[in-house]
Amino acid sequence: MKLYFAPLEGITTHIYRNTHKEMFGGCDAYYAPFIVPSDNEKVTKKGLKDVLPENNINLNLKLQVLINHAPSFMKFVSKIKAVDYDEININLGCPSGTVVKKGRGAGFLRDTYALDRFLYEIFSESDIKISVKTRIGYSSGDEMEELMKIYNKYPMSLLIIHPRTREDFYNGEPDIDVFSKAYEVSENRVCYNGNIFSVDDYKRISAQFPGLEGIMIGRGAVMNPAIFREINGGARLTTEELIEFSKRLVENYNNVLKCETYTLNKLKEIWTYILLNYPNEKKIIKAIKKAHKLTDFMNSICSLPKL
């Protein structure tokens, strides 16, 4: 069963991915945050910087697009083939209001006729491997039955299912019953995504669904960057590692961004998740969140207790 690092917009950049691979690794592939191609958008090499092969060496990077227009998809395919990619993942899960408003991401799930037509066109015309990351519906898990009838028409390289609806966002528990029904009827290989925060979570899902092709972890992997290592039987995460990881991120981001404020903002966003490991350290958490300088930020995280 393969392990995938899910994309988190603004967090799992190529700088983060490379630093994670260097220090922790353990996953079989990294998925890049979505790209939004369109008819009138010129996607240049600069625009593709985050996913260029030379910035993602040995990461087994998977590209993801946020799109609902077949001609735009086909134009984008030609661009990514030019930089040596042969697979693309379609995001049908993003719940953001601005995304949904444009009928993209989870918003595309509201119009199953248009979704079916879109998939028909891209699978008919494209010679690239296509995978799909989906939620179980827009408003209700009951919608998944119809969605599966559509998905089963097309030879996907992988169907990644996050068992929440768009309206759930990331609240509550994933609907395992709906996921189970989709898993049983799927004609495509299935990957599970949602609320994997520990080795026990991984073991529970992998035991319940032994035929899964893989399990994708996003927030849980940012919270605990050693989670893939732990799943593979390695050592548990330590506070010392988190401090060293942060030092490397600071160095690597400063080398690219050339601005301590931008680097600090990146680290604060990452540590929003990491701080979940320290629920009782309210004073230190407050200092980390209020830090206006990198030195203050690093001094605060260095005062955290051992995990």
Does 208 lie in the same domain as 284? Answer: no
Residue 151 has what pLDDT? 98
Does 255 lie in the same domain as 183? Answer: no
Show the domain range for 244.
239-301
Point out the domain boundary residue: 198, 231, 264.
Answer: 231
Does 186 lie in the same domain as 277? Answer: no
Does 205 lie in the same domain as 102? Answer: yes
Residue 37 has what pLDDT? 82
Is 85 part of a structural domain of the chain? yes
Is 307 part of a structural domain of the chain? no
Residue 48 has what pLDDT? 85
Point out the domain boundary residue: 231, 249, 265.
Answer: 231
**Residue 284 to residue 278: CA distance in whole angstroms:** 9
What residues are paired with 132 via a beta bridge? 90, 159
Does 204 lie in the same domain as 103? Answer: yes
Does 28 lie in the same domain as 71? Answer: yes
Does 270 lie in the same domain as 193? Answer: no
Is 129 part of a structural domain of the chain? yes
Is 47 part of a structural domain of the chain? yes
Taking a C-beta distance cutoff of 8 angstroms, is the pair 217, 3 a contact?
yes
Does 15 lie in the same domain as 33? Answer: yes
Cα distances (angstroms) measured from residue 26 to each of 69, 130, 259: 35, 24, 31
Does 45 lie in the same domain as 182? Answer: yes
pLDDT digits (tens, 9 = 90+) for 157-177: 999 999 999 999 999 999 999
Taking a C-beta distance cutoff of 8 angstroms, is the pair 221, 6 a contact?
yes
Q: How many domains does the chain have?
A: 2
CA-nearest of 231, 233, 229 to 245 is: 229
Task: Write out the chain's pLDDT in tens, 307 residues.
Answer: 999 999 999 999 999 999 999 999 999 999 999 998 866 655 656 668 899 999 999 999 999 999 999 999 999 998 899 888 999 999 999 999 999 999 999 999 999 999 999 999 999 999 999 999 999 999 999 999 999 999 999 999 999 999 999 999 999 999 999 999 999 999 999 999 999 999 999 999 999 999 999 999 999 999 999 999 999 999 999 999 999 999 999 999 999 999 999 999 999 999 999 999 999 999 999 999 999 999 999 999 999 999 9
Which two structure tokens, joined as six digits, stand for 287?
């200092």
pLDDT digits (tens, 9 = 90+) for 68-93: 999 999 999 988 998 889 999 999 99
User: Which residues in the chain belong to E strands, given as ranges?
Assistant: 2-5, 29-31, 61-65, 87-92, 129-135, 158-162, 190-193, 214-217
Q: Give the domain CATH number at 23.
A: 3.20.20.70
Is 214 part of a structural domain of the chain? yes
Q: Is 261 exposed, middle or buried (0-12, 13-18, 19+ CB in 10 A)?
A: exposed
Is 120 part of a structural domain of the chain? yes
Is 306 part of a structural domain of the chain? no
Cα distances (angstroms) measured from residue 148 to each of 11, 141, 184, 194, 232: 31, 11, 10, 18, 32
Q: What is the pTM of this model?
A: 0.96
Does 133 lie in the same domain as 277? Answer: no
Does 130 lie in the same domain as 256? Answer: no
Point out the domain boundary residue: 231, 258, 291.
Answer: 231
